Structure 1
Amino acid sequence: MAPTLLNRLTDSSALSLGILGVGNIGLVHLKSAAAMPGVEVVAAADAVAENRDRAERAGVSRTYDDYTTLLASEELDAAVVALPPFLHADAVEQAADAGVDVFVEKPLARSTEEADEMLATAREAGIAVGVDHTLRYQPDMAGVKTAYDEGRVGHVPYASITRLNDGPLGRPPAESAPPSWPLDREAAGGGSLLELGVHCFDVLEWLFGDLEVRDASMGRTLEVDVEDAATVLMDAPETGTTVTLHCGSYQWEQLPEVNTRLRLEGVTGTISNQEHLPENFYAGAAKSALSNVASRFTRDEPDVFGPTFYLQAHYDALADFCDAIRDGEQPPVDGADGRRTLALAEQAYELAAQKTDADTDGLETPEVTL
């Protein structure tokens, strides 16, 4: 971080935070930060007037219709980048110009090339980059890691992870048109592998160390520009573990069901994230889900911490980032971690494309006889 930023943090008892983007996840970050001791959300920016209204109802005193103006107008210690992926690079560059540390929603970028440019810009400006990889903050995943690190099942030859949800189209019937960018490969960088798979890559390397991609396939259940299913086979050389990952945005998500499954098949037994769910998870999540549904009719703001199992992880991830910035330390999940997940995704895309090309090259037009 730049010395001027450290001085500013020292002079203030609260870390001043700006929220760039107040869509669904941006509102989660905004309300998370507003609930944190020692953090002050001073401003928010969003191009959509309705989202700015939401920020104001959540207690933000100043809102802007673009993040560039916010960064130029406010004295910030840090900013949350909760914008679509195609805006991440520009937002980080603007923040770097202002000497503001950034907490970037995943995926960090649309490619490793773009990530490298962003991280180079951050290094030159002396700002820190954190990435919102929250899966490792969920209590069930933390429980799996604790059990594994304690050696409860010994050596783990095989592990698997599955993460599914309903994606940008949502559960029918649709109440409104979905945003266009998640279905645009140029804007999003990819489909479910970048939306969901990067979380899985992060938690798997958190468990097993560096992964090597061996094979991959992509699928589409709908006629869209990006994959809505991906399966990846990997090795973890450090632990001698073979890992399979499957993610998809084709399954209608029905809260409070947990849509992530992680299993470690050890030589003396199995560790599953299902074993480490909070005892009151389903009751608490169902109550929160019903409350949020009711809020649509009463026009109240939904409780962004419900179901708390998922969204508390976002709070903890952002709190860790803010603590690191306040202490002048490297964020616990940083830009290098975000780039690493992108590198694994790119390897998977390349292997899947090679198989598709090979299958296409080998096809012959059948001869039809009557």
Structure 2
Amino acid sequence: MSPPVLGRWTDSSGLSLGLLGVGNIGTVHLKSARAIDGVDVVAAADAVPENRARAERAGVDRTYDDYTTLLEDESLDAAVIAMPPFLHADAVERAAAAGVDVFVEKPLARSTDEADRLLEAAAEGGIAVGVDHTLRYQPDVRGVKQAYDEGRVGHVPYASMTRVNDGPLGRPPAADEPPDWALERDGAGGGSLLELGVHCFDVLEWLFGDLEVESAAVDATLEVPVEDAATVLMRAPETGTTVTLHCGSYQWEELPEVNTRVRLEGVTGTISNADHLPTNFYADAAKSALSNVASRVTGDDPDIFGPTFYYQAHYEALSAFCEAIQRDETPPVDGRDGRRTLELAETAYELAAASDRDGVERPEVRT
């Protein structure tokens, strides 16, 4: 797939940004965008009145109930697409027609075919496509990457990654039903392998290069229409590393912790993301907040979202995208990266379907 045609964005006065979707993750992107120097969030669109009101309270001047109208009426440099996956392709195509660069929430699309369609539209429109694969921006994952690149444990024959949370059902007692699209293959493209696995595929190829999927299994521990658990066995030919991945949307998540584990078993030792996490999230947040207050006196730059460890990654990801398009560069995590994670997920689905699991009795899950 050809990279987008760059060289179009030349305005040095600032970057005008539109937000398509102001739900949970859209609100995170809104807060991030408003903290980025040289970025002006000029408009937001959401079909839900409460979400539009949230954007207005955050300082967005103009809100729309339809993203298509926003793209038609506003003169934008870029847009954040934070809507359900089944709307991503249409939103990118409309943005391409308007000449608007896009930062798309993961997964980029529901399939590689759909990704090809939207990337072709982006190339024809000469726009850049960035994808929000945030995990590679988390401080703990970056710590793993740095330690590995420095060769601290030598050759790594084996690595593992786990990402689990409570998924769209939320932590009980659930106050509201999840949106229909989140538990439908037509709406989301899949279950935990698309919701969580694509993040992990991105990190693992960032570490080890191209991966080959050797086997996979998916299951539903809860009575939901899509898989809420997936295990994938892979090999990285470039480094000779065997990798296992498990992702699942079945385990309650207790903030501020996020249940992500990355572990590299090297010949001279082990690298773990746990080594780069705060011992006490609350104490670390307080320390970071005090440091930011002191920076006002010393004139140093504050640590944006430092007190909120994981929100910092969302800020860094969006900031890197905005900086790239302002410099007429390809985004550091672009549409080809987003498509690649979908390709790995589809291979895992195919291998899981090929293995006959009909005779396996599934465990009863008690709540």
TM-score (norm 1): 0.89
- Residue 181 of structure 1 corresponds to 181
Aligned counterparts of 2:96 and 2:136: Cα–Cα separation in 1: 27
Q: Is the 8 A contact 2:6 2:128 kept in 1?
A: no
1:152-301 equivalent positions in 2, closer than 5 A: 152-278=152-278, 281-284=281-284
Question: How far apart in 1 are the matches of 2:5 and 2:264?
Answer: 42
Structure 1: distance between partners of 2:172 and 2:57: 29
Which letter maps to 2:50? E
Is 1:315 aligned to residue 315 of structure 2? yes
RMSD over equivalenced CA pairs, Å: 1.9
Structure 1 runs (4+) deviating above 4 angstroms are: 1-4, 284-288, 304-307
8 Å contact 1:79–1:103 — kept in the other structure? yes
Q: Give, in whole Å, the separation in 2 of the partners of 1:107 and 1:44.
A: 21
> 1: distance between equivalents of 2:161 and 2:242?
12
Aligned to 1:115: 115
- TM-aligned CA deviation for residue 106 of structure 1: 0.2
Q: Deviations over 1:176-212 (max 9, x none)?
A: 1211111011110000010000000000000000000
Q: Equivalent residue of 1:218, what SS?
A: strand
Alpha-carbon distance change, 306 to 58 in structure 1, aligned in 2, over 3 angstroms? farther
Q: Are the aligned partners of 1:228 and 1:248 in contact in 2 as well (CA < 8 Å)?
A: yes
Counterpart-to-counterpart distance in 2, 1:23 and 1:90: 18
Matches within 5 A, 1:30-49: 30-49=30-49
Residue matched to 1:52: 52
Q: Is contact 2:161–2:246 with CA below 8 Å preserved after alignment?
A: yes
CA shift digits 1:308-365 (9 cap, x unpaired)? 1111100000000000010000000000000000000000000000113xx44x89xx
CA contact (8 A) 2:162 2:245 kept: yes
- Partner Cα separation in structure 2 for residue 131 and residue 4 of structure 1: 20
Corresponding residue number in structure 2 for 1:355: 355
Q: Percent identity?
A: 77
Distance in structure 1 (CA, Å) of the matches to 2:87 and 2:287: 36
Aligned-partner Cα distance in 2 for 1:173–1:239 = 45
C-alpha separation between the residues in 2 aligned to 1:172 and 1:66?
A: 32
What letter is aligned with 2:95? A
Matched residues in 1 for 2:197 and 2:282: separation?
Answer: 25
Q: Which runs of 5+ in 1 are unaligned?
A: 289-303, 364-370
Deviations 1:263-320 (A, max 9, x none): 00000000000001145534346999xxxxxxxxxxxxxxx95871111100000000
Letter paired with 1:138: Q
Counterpart of 2:77, as a letter, is D
Give the letter aligned to residue 20 of structure 1: L
Q: How much does 1:5 deviate?
A: 3.8
Partner of 1:86: 86
Counterpart amino acid of residue 35 in structure 1: A
CA separation in 2, counterparts of 1:5 and 1:348?
38
1:27 is displaced (CA, Å) by 0.6
Question: 2 CA distance for matches of 1:200 and 1:129?
Answer: 20
Question: Is the contact made by 2:262 and 2:273 (CA closer than 8 Å) also made in structure 1?
Answer: yes
Q: Kindly indicate whether the alpha-carbon contact (under 8 Å) linking 1:164 and 1:247 is maintained by their aligned counterparts in 2.
A: yes
Q: Distance in 1 between matches of 2:209 and 2:148?
A: 13
SS of residue in 2 equivalent to 1:162: strand
Map of 1:142 onto structure 2: 142
CA contact (8 A) 2:6 2:330 kept: no
Matches of 2:283 and 2:107, distance apart in 1: 31
- Structure 2 residue aligned with 1:291: none
Contact 2:6–2:127 under 8 Å retained in 1: no
* Cα drift, residue 4 of structure 1: 8.5
How high is the TM-score relative to the length of structure 2? 0.90
Residue deviations 1:3-52 (CA, integer Å, cap 9, x gap): 7842xx32x41100000000000011011101111000000000000000
Report the equivalent of 1:331.
331
Matching residue of 2:363: none
SS at match of 1:348: helix
3-state DSSP class of the match of 1:210? Answer: coil
1:71 correspondence with 2:62: no
Say whether residues 1:13 and 2:13 are aligned partners: yes
Per-residue CA deviation, residues 125-152 of structure 1 (Å, 9 max, x unaligned), is 1000000001010011111011101110
Rounded Cα–Cα distance in structure 2 between residues aligned with 1:26 and 1:205? 26
Partner of residue 128, structure 1? 128
Unaligned segments of structure 2, at least 5 residues: 289-303, 361-367
Aligned AA for 2:130?
G
CA–CA separation in structure 2 for the residues paired with 1:266 and 1:133: 26
Deviations 1:52-88 (A, max 9, x none): 0000000000000010000000000000000000000
Residue 251 of structure 2 aligns to a residue in which SS? coil
Separation of aligned partners in 2, 1:3 and 1:138: 28
Matched to 2:321, the amino acid is F
Distance 1:5 1:279 in 2: 46
